[in-house]
């Protein structure tokens, strides 16, 4: 409406100015998006996998991105079922009525009463397994052929090592979580 009240030359100058401003803003956005940190965030480029204390080795490129969707489902289903079986054993041994484990529609939930709840779920679009921990928060695991397992790229820890460590601490007993090479 504002443009209609301006005379034709003023309206044209105003529209040209807006176009230049928009073009300038677009250039700034493009430059910002070219920064490596932004590209990694937008495109999900893996960070580094720390196999040593220095953490200087680059993340292996043979990760979940090289899986076919069929392989992903086979591996993730096998992992979730193996974890379900082992966590059911842990819950049964503890004998606490507030502890519960269930698996439905690709989501594995471990309820530990007042100690918190673990939720693991499959993420087929990313070919990842996501874990939400009451201790360490959210993590995204990629399958790495070189490690024959699901690894969190930021700390290099496998999903079973994280669960073993955290559950042993929370439950104040030695918890064994083992996944075979096909998990």
Q: Which of 18-27, 103-112, 127-136 has the lowest mean pLDDT?
A: 18-27
Find residue 38's DSSP bridge partners: none
- Give the mean model confidence (pLDDT) for residues 13-29: 55
Q: Determine if residue 46 is left, alpha or beta; phi over 0 gives left, psi from -120 to 50 gives alpha, anything else beta.
A: beta
Residue 93 lies in a domain: yes
Domain total of the chain? 2
Is 71 buried (19+), middle (13-18) or exposed (0-12) by CB count in 10 A?
middle
Banded model confidence at residue 157, pLDDT cuts 50, 70, 90: very high
2 in Cβ contact with 15 (< 8 Å): no
- Give the CATH number of the domain where residue 154 resides: 3.30.920.10
Are 86 and 164 contained in the same domain? yes
Residues 38 and 83 in one domain: no
In a domain, 59, yes or no: no
Beta-bridged to residue 158, according to DSSP, are 151
Cβ 123 vs Cβ 129: under 8 Å:
yes
pTM value is 0.64
Q: How many helices (H) and strands (E) does the chain have?
A: 5, 6
Residues 37-90: tens digit of each pLDDT: 544 444 444 433 333 333 334 344 445 558 899 999 999 999 999 999 999 999
Cα(54)–Cα(32) distance, integer angstroms: 29
Q: Are residues 112 and 143 in the same domain?
A: yes
User: Using alpha carbons only, what angle is made at residue 117 by residues 115 and 123, rounded to the nearest 5 degrees?
Assistant: 155
Determine the pLDDT at residue 59. Answer: 44
pLDDT for 179: 86
Nearest CA to 144 among 77, 66, 79, 76? Answer: 66
Give the per-residue pLDDT at 172: 94
The predicted-structure confidence for 114-153, as pLDDT tens digits, reads as follows 999 999 999 999 999 999 999 999 999 999 988 889 999 9
**Residue 79: how many other CB atoms lie within 10 Å:** 24
Same domain as 161, residue 74: yes
**pLDDT band (50, 70, 90) for residue 21:** low
Find all residues with CB under 8 Å of 120, minimum gap 6, and list them: 80, 83, 107, 108, 109, 129, 130, 131, 132, 159
pLDDT in tens, 164-179: 999 999 999 999 999 8
Domain extent for 39: 2-43
């Amino acid at each position: 409406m504002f443009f209609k009240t301006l005379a034709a030359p003023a309206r044209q100058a105003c529209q040209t100015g807006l176009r230049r401003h928009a073009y300038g803003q677009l250039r700034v956005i493009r430059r910002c998006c070219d920064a490596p940190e932004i590209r990694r965030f937008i495109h999900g480029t893996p960070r580094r996998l720390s196999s040593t204390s220095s953490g200087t080795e680059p993340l292996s490129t043979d990760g979940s991105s090289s899986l076919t969707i069929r392989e992903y489902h086979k591996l993730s289903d096998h992992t979730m079922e193996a974890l379900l079986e082992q966590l059911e054993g842990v819950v049964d041994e503890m004998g606490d009525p507030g502890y519960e484990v269930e698996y439905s529609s690709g989501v594995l939930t471990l309820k530990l009463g007042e100690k918190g709840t673990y939720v693991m779920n499959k993420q087929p679009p990313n070919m990842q397994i996501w874990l939400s921990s009451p201790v360490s928060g959210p993590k995204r695991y990629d399958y790495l052929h070189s490690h024959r397992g699901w690894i969190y790229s930021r700390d290099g820890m496998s999903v079973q090592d994280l669960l073993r460590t955290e559950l042993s601490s929370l439950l104040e007993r030695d918890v064994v979580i083992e996944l075979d090479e096909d998990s």
